[in-house]
Amino acid sequence: MISFLSCCFWLQMLATKTVQLESDVVAHFGGDVTLSCLFPSQPGMNLQDLTLTWQKERAGAEALVVHCHYYGREQLEKQDEACRNWTRLDPEGLAWGNASLTLRGVRTQDEGVYLCHVTSEPGWTAERRELRVEAPYSEPHLTLDLSFRLGHTLFIFSSGSGYPRASVEWRDGMGTNLTELSTTTESVDTWGLYTLCSELAVPVGQSTNLTVLLVTAPGRETHMLHITVAAGPGQRRSHVWLLVASLGAVILSVIVAVWILRPPVHGTCRRCSENRFAGMRDVEDPSPQSQPGPGACPALGTPTPGLGADLPAAPSGHLHAKAL
């Protein structure tokens, strides 16, 4: 039986050996991924002599212990706290030389380089796996702001919940890079996923084709959107009509406000004025005691100089009333 003091001590000895390399392993955010690791085996091999350790490299620090198996069982207490209930081996596969490790519910922080070290009766194996995490960016969203600046239309592109970090490129129909003319901002949520927002101002009346690209790495471009901007008289006049409509709305609002807030006319009884033009005397009470005298305003009961002389007297016994 191989003497074993600790996982870390044994890994330091094996670190001097040549490590077998493999191409990158791509995992989808939130899904499961298996990092393969095969080692020499033979029928009837004693698993008590098997020592298996998975580690993750960390810059400027000791490697993180992801999973350990020795003395015939998994040593879960040796795992780093962040790896608890996250990794899984295939116990039956160990007898056949399969030490592959499954990571469940992959997160962005799980990206990195993993090392598999195995010592068994037939020999030892050290393998390296580089894990990359990807999350597709959401369906692109495009909006237009016609009021951004006189003579220009602002195109606003946004896409989010993606990984890895990306940049936005704008190109015209000739392939000319217009990115320097744009402004891009990014934000990161608690899961480490990115959201991008990019703006590009285009002169009104300029006919052009625009293409928006997401670039996650040199040479890795994802075509997100194609926009055709057609020039025409209607497009050139759009800002003028927008300005005219805005001014018209303001003028109409001012007229309505003046009409509503106009001051009342003082010194004139409205009912008396209406009766004057109608040629009728308005009577509130037919009794002689309540009859107003000549020149009096029936509504207020106060004389209005000169007004009674202009109103013809009604024949006795005939009263005329006008509803307000």
CATH number at residue 224: 2.60.40.10
Residues 43-78 have pLDDT tens digits of 878 888 889 999 999 988 889 999 998 888 888 888
Q: Which of 116, 134, 152 is the last residue of a domain?
A: 134
Tell whether the model's pLDDT for residue 284 goes beyond 80: no
Asked if residue 113 and residue 22 are part of one domain, the reply reads yes
Residue 284's contacts (CB-CB under 8 Å, 6 or more residues apart) are 290, 298
Kindly state the DSSP code that residue 38 receives in the 8-state scheme.
B
Residue 22's contacts (CB-CB under 8 Å, 6 or more residues apart) are 36, 127, 128, 129
Pairing of strands 123-134, 25-28: parallel
Asked if residue 98 and residue 57 are part of one domain, the reply reads yes
Asked if residue 126 and residue 14 are part of one domain, the reply reads yes
Residues 103-116 have pLDDT tens digits of 999 999 999 999 99
111 or 276, which is more confident: 111
End-to-end CA distance of the chain: give it in Å, rounded: 115
Asked if residue 161 and residue 115 are part of one domain, the reply reads no
Asked if residue 46 and residue 81 are part of one domain, the reply reads yes
* Total-model pTM: 0.62
Range of the domain at 224: 141-231
* pLDDT for res 217: 80
Asked if residue 149 and residue 121 are part of one domain, the reply reads no
C-beta separation of 140 from 158 below 8 A: yes
Tell whether the model's pLDDT for residue 142 goes beyond 80: yes
Asked if residue 223 and residue 288 are part of one domain, the reply reads no
Residues 189-237 have pLDDT tens digits of 999 999 999 999 988 877 778 999 999 887 788 878 888 877 654 444 4
